Chains A and B, each alone.
Chain A
Amino acid sequence: MANVNVVINGIAGSVPAGTTVLEAARQLHVDIPTLCDHPAIQPIGACRMCLVEIEKQRTLQPACTFPVSEGIVVKTDTPATMNARRFVLQLLFSERNHFCMFCQMSGSCELQTQAYKHGLDSWRYDRAFPVLPLDATRQYFIMDHNRCILCRRCIRACDQLVGNATLGLKHRGANTMIIADMDVPFGESSCISCGTCLQVCPTGALIDRASAYLGATAEVKRVKSTCTHCSIGCGTELVMRDDRVIRIEGDWTAEPNHGLICEMGRFQPLNDKRAPVTKPMVKEADGWHETSLQAALERVATNLKTGKVTTVVSGLATNEAAQIIAKRFPGAKQLMEGQAPAVTSSPLKDMDAADLFIVVNTDVAHEYPVASFAIKRSVHLRGARLYLVGDTGDSMQPWTSRSIQEAQIDALLPIIEGAQNPVIICGKKGEALAMKIAKVVTGIKIVDLAPAGNTMGLVQAGIRQQFSANGFDTCYILAAEAQDAPQELLEACAQAKFTAVQASYKQPWMDIAQVILPTPVSHLKCGTFVNFEGKTGVVNAAAACNANGEAQVLEQLANLL
């Protein structure tokens, strides 16, 4: 689109026509205060904090929704705009119960920041002191309606980014309240606990249980990292205080997730209640004992040198760990969760251009939630269609046009051929059928997701085989924090002469192993991962990579072999 000339606070610039005044101001490095605006979601002009003076406009206009036109002249810091903003803030502060000194967001709150900036030191209007409920029915975060300014960021994020549309409003005017579904408790709603609403909330209305009161913006640092809990490999930000990760957020600038992460990436890592492995442990005749790393490694090395060894690696392991195992360990090296996709996958961003989704034999909502967000928002906002084929779980049902069995696929082919931009989403179990469809429908895109976070990285390191229970008497398992170890693996290793496990959590490994070595959980690791698109992500551990790191322990072990 053609550029137009704009002047904001006397600064001249040229921006594409249709740009909003707020975006234009940001490009010219002019600061306009906002509350309801968020760069990732559509502006609605609800809060009126961004009111500016525009020449030839009778009244002040909201910068976030006003498009620029040729020759537009904007002033953002006149007495009239400052008064208007102070008035807006006074109304916001008088409406509900905003008492900053008791709020866990004090120091991080956008409302409070604007109040300081605009010199609010007292209440001009009587306060209503409404008695509003606090909804603590959700596991990971709390909704406190008292702190809510009805900016609707949470509603819009749930609607436009996640496509879940769980949140809404009830009533109107001063009685307006945020609701979930048809005004049910949040914990009983269709919420999928992705926490995107929590991340966009500008005030203390949505409170993260785990990190509440643990640190305001100035007291924490943010470290960019990568989530490794599924093969999408979302960019994250670790919010850290004193080398402790207090919260995990999505990184708005990261591919392929653009700020979105799911329950697995945001909440579960910090709420894992399993007993952690803190020290190397060995099993003696009288039970388990903690020991020194050196003693444990020596015992493992002795066994690895004499036995018929198979090493099984979880997709939660780093590339660096995988390379040491591939190059320096004896015997077979196998994948715990399954093999890499046979198809070169289309990138995740292709999903936002699709008009027809075919999910094949994959419970996409649970295995790859961020991919399911792309489906949901496409169906919800763009009218794309979703077909479920085979075993796909129930969670996508409200977004589905049609569910069919694998055998009925032939009936679907003409419809797929008629679509402009069809995309198949599958994992290992759906691959065969996906390729069958691709043979008929030429040019169809296949998003083929790997079975675990770093399967692609392990394969690149040279670990390609699927786990098989035969041909070994000594077993080394790099399990990391894997939850669901295959039963076959547990049984085979329980039978083996010797089993050593490098894991973050004690169970189920204490039942089958003779030595357990510690390894950090994903968000405390340092190293690299490769996602299903083949993109390498860096996992930046918060703490320095010390001798107890995953690859570091393996290095020491390899030196003894």
Chain B
Amino acid sequence: MTKVLPDPAKRAMLLTALYIAQEQYGSLTPDALERVSARLGISPAQVYETATFYSMFRTQPAGRYVLQVCEGLSCYLADGAENLAAYIQNKLHICPGETTTDGLFTLQMVQCLASCSSSPAMRVNDTLYENLTADRVDMLLDELRGG
């Protein structure tokens, strides 16, 4: 029997449930969202609402590695940061929001990653990389391609 909880309690679990679903499914596919909706007893519209509001949730399939480049103020002002996104775009031939044809990399622009003191910063899946330069990006991408 499904335990029915008052709405605020159900909603409190929603973010965590979406995070887990995204880990399992790769992205928040309609199937994943429907499972969250049924499991928590929250209407599909309200689940979709939350999933599309936060930039760390994806409703579209992404590459194996999601490159989240910070465009917050500190990273923006840091030496070379403005070029970081442009460098990745040129190197991988994708725009923000797109995935490489080999399905390996997705580029995404995000707000502050809480690394202002070590900007510019980029998050690759769950790992944070700081003090980035073009050389370090090259090394990182090569390493990811190899692994």
Contact = CB atoms under 8 A, between A and B. Distances in A.
Contacts of A165: 43, 45-46
B52 interface: yes
Contact of B1 (A180, A398, A402): A402
Nearest to A386: B4
B107 interface: no
B32 to A, nearest CB: 11
Contact of A383 (B7, B44, B49): B7
A379 interface: yes
Interface string A358-389: 00000000000000000000011111110000
Nearest to B3: A401
Contact of A401 (B2, B34, B52, B53): B2
Contact of A168 (B1, B9, B34, B48): B48
Interface stretch (A56-64, A115-123, A169-177, A494-502): A169-177
A319 B76 CA distance: 76
A181 interface: yes
A167 interface: yes
Given A167-B45, A401-B1, A402-B1, A182 B30 contact: yes
B34 to A, nearest CB: 8
Given A171-B53, A172-B53, A182-B33, A383 B4 contact: yes
B6 interface: yes
Secondary structure at the B interface, as helix, strand, loop or mixed, is helix
Contact of B49 (A170, A379, A381): A170
Interface in B7-33: 7, 9, 30, 33
Which among A179, A180, A182 has the highest number of chain B CB atoms within 10 Å? A182
A182 B5 contact: no
B45 A166 contact: yes
Secondary structure at the A interface, as helix, strand, loop or mixed, is mixed
Interface residues of B, number: 20
A190 interface: yes
Contacts of B34: 182
A168 B45 contact: yes
Contacts of B45: 155, 165-168, 179-182
Which among B30, B33, B44, B47 has the highest number of chain A CB atoms within 10 Å? B44
Contacts of B44: 181-182, 190
Contacts of B33: 182
Given A165-B43, A182-B30, A401-B1, A170 B48 contact: yes
Contact of B4 (A170, A179, A385): A385
Interface in B42-70: 43-49, 52-53
A183 interface: yes
Contacts of A385: 4
Nearest to A160: B7
Interface in A48-62: none
Contacts of A179: 45, 48-49
A216 to B, nearest CB: 32
A384 B47 CA distance: 20
A168 B47 CA distance: 9
Interface residues of A, number: 27
A218 B91 CA distance: 64
Which among B2, B47, B52 has the highest number of chain A CB atoms within 10 Å? B52
Given A181-B48, A182-B48, A401-B2, A166 B7 contact: no
Which among A165, A179, A383 has the highest number of chain B CB atoms within 10 Å? A383
Contacts of B53: 169, 171-172
A179 B43 CA distance: 12
Contacts of B6: 381-383
Given A172-B53, A401-B2, A183 B7 contact: no
A379 B1 contact: no
Given A171-B53, A182-B30, A402-B1, A381 B7 contact: yes
B130 to A, nearest CB: 27
Interface in B91-113: none
Contacts of A180: 45
Nearest to B38: A398
A381 B46 CA distance: 13
Nearest to B33: A182
Nearest to B42: A165
B58 to A, nearest CB: 13
Contacts of B43: 159, 164-166, 168, 181, 190, 380, 398
A383 B10 CA distance: 10
Interface in A175-231: 179-183, 190
Contacts of A398: 41, 43
A380 B10 CA distance: 10
A379 B4 contact: yes
Contacts of A182: 30, 33-34, 44-45, 47-48
A181 B53 CA distance: 15
Contacts of A167: 45
Given A182-B30, A182-B33, A168 B4 contact: no
B45 to A, nearest CB: 3
A169 B52 CA distance: 9
A179 B48 CA distance: 9
B20 to A, nearest CB: 18
A171 B53 CA distance: 5
B31 to A, nearest CB: 10
A545 B29 CA distance: 59
B4 A401 contact: yes
Contacts of A172: 52-53
Contacts of A382: 6
A159 B53 CA distance: 19
A382 B9 CA distance: 11
Contacts of A169: 49, 52-53
B55 to A, nearest CB: 9
19 contacts: A155-B45, A165-B46, A166-B43, A168-B43, A170-B48, A170-B52, A171-B52, A180-B45, A182-B47, A380-B43, A381-B7, A382-B6, A383-B4, A383-B5, A383-B9, A384-B4, A398-B41, A398-B43, A401-B2
Given A169-B53, A379-B4, A398-B41, 5 more contacts: A155-B45, A169-B49, A182-B44, A182-B45, A401-B4
